[in-house]
Amino acid sequence: MRQIFCTTLLSFVLGCAYAQQPLDTTAYQFVYDVQAKVFEQSRKLIPDEHVLELGRNGVSKYYSRWKERNYQVIDSVCRIGGSFDDARRILQAEGVESSQFCYSVYKNYPHAGQQTVDYASMELFQYQESMGQEWNLIEGDTIILDHPCQKATCHYHSRTWTAYYATDIPISEGPWKLCGLPGLILKAYDSDGAFVFNCIGIQQGTGTPMTMRETTRRKMKPEQAHKVIELIDSNPDAYLESRGQKVQTFDEKGRLSKMPKLPKRAYYESYSAHTPAMSADPEL
């Protein structure tokens, strides 16, 4: 419960700085049903709903619609002096789900062929890297949303991915960081069954601005960012101490305790050859 509270509280802090920086104008939106593990040892997949916005000038933005709505509600409540509990009540009344998806991925930004990633944890991290994967086009086809799709596979940052791309939608884009095929990726999944993306809707954009949240970020190289993110998830107390912060936490009976060390999170990717697993049993 303490970890869930910290995650929600972080959303409240970030939400109070919800000024937006325009990047492009949205031409199309692609909606994906996402099923994903929270921890590597999880026995079930958790649902989420993600959106890929494609801009008129080639910039794209990929994010969790559920998390974005949490930010919007929290920001609105914050602006009028409301409390965390006020925001939580509104979200519950609207039936807005929580989201474990911490990425916002901006492709072809700040330059063509480059992607910028925001990752929200106890801090908001940002890193930039080259976009795209080396795909192998293989035999296999299917129909998704009435679009004929072909099959491809790739190995990307320690995971093997299979994708189905629509040959009649000549957009070299897809969910999360996946892209680079001769058509829009409508379905993708990894070989471990930890992550599944299914496109469930395609709609033309309304010409609204594609934006990035204006707030403080800690900019790092990808490998550095993921190393810190893994430390936050596995040992939050050690992370806070490394930042010169000492935080006291208490259990349900008011006794002083340490923040829980969680099992290894099921990351979409890994930049390290080996990450030790935790021994606690995951609830999700």
Whether residue 278 is contained in a domain is answered as no
Whether residue 104 is contained in a domain is answered as yes
Whether residue 263 is contained in a domain is answered as no
User: Which amino acid, residue 18?
Assistant: Y
User: Tens of pLDDT along 22-81?
Assistant: 899 999 999 999 999 999 889 899 999 999 999 999 999 999 999 888 888 887 888 888
Whether residue 190 is contained in a domain is answered as yes
pLDDT-wise least confident of 9-18, 74-83, 108-117, 245-254: 9-18
Give the pairing of strands 103-107 and 46-55: unpaired
Say what the pTM is: 0.85
Distance CA 267, CA 100 (A): 11
Whether residue 252 is contained in a domain is answered as no
Residue ranges making up the domain that contains 22: 2-214
Considering only residues 37 and 12, tell me which one the structure prediction assigns the higher pLDDT.
37
Contact 122, 102 (CB under 8 A): no
Q: What per-residue confidence (pLDDT) applies to 194?
A: 96
Q: Tell me the average pLDDT across 82-106.
A: 85
Three-state SS at 170: coil
User: Tens of pLDDT along 129-163?
Assistant: 999 999 999 999 999 999 999 999 999 999 999 99
Distance CA 186, CA 98 (A): 24
Neighbouring C-beta atoms of residue 236, cutoff 10 Å: 22
CATH number for the domain spanning 24: value is 2.50.20
Contact 24, 57 (CB under 8 A): yes
Whether residue 210 is contained in a domain is answered as yes
State both tokens at 39. Answer: 């921890």
Q: What per-residue confidence (pLDDT) applies to 199?
A: 98
Long-range contacts of 88-92 (CB under 8 A, 24+ apart): 88/8
Looking at the 3D structure of the chain, how many domains does it have?
1
Whether residue 143 is contained in a domain is answered as yes
DSSP per position, 179-239: --SSSEEEEEEETTSSEEEEEEEEEE--SPEEEEEES--EE--HHHHHHHHHHHHH-HHHH
Pick from 154, 222, 229, 223: nearest CA to 190: 154
Whether residue 136 is contained in a domain is answered as yes
Distance CA 280, CA 263 (A): 6
Q: What per-residue confidence (pLDDT) applies to 142?
A: 96
Residue 202: partners with Cβ closer than 8 Å, 6 or more residues away: 28, 29, 30, 31, 145, 169
Considering only residues 231 and 176, tell me which one the structure prediction assigns the higher pLDDT.
176
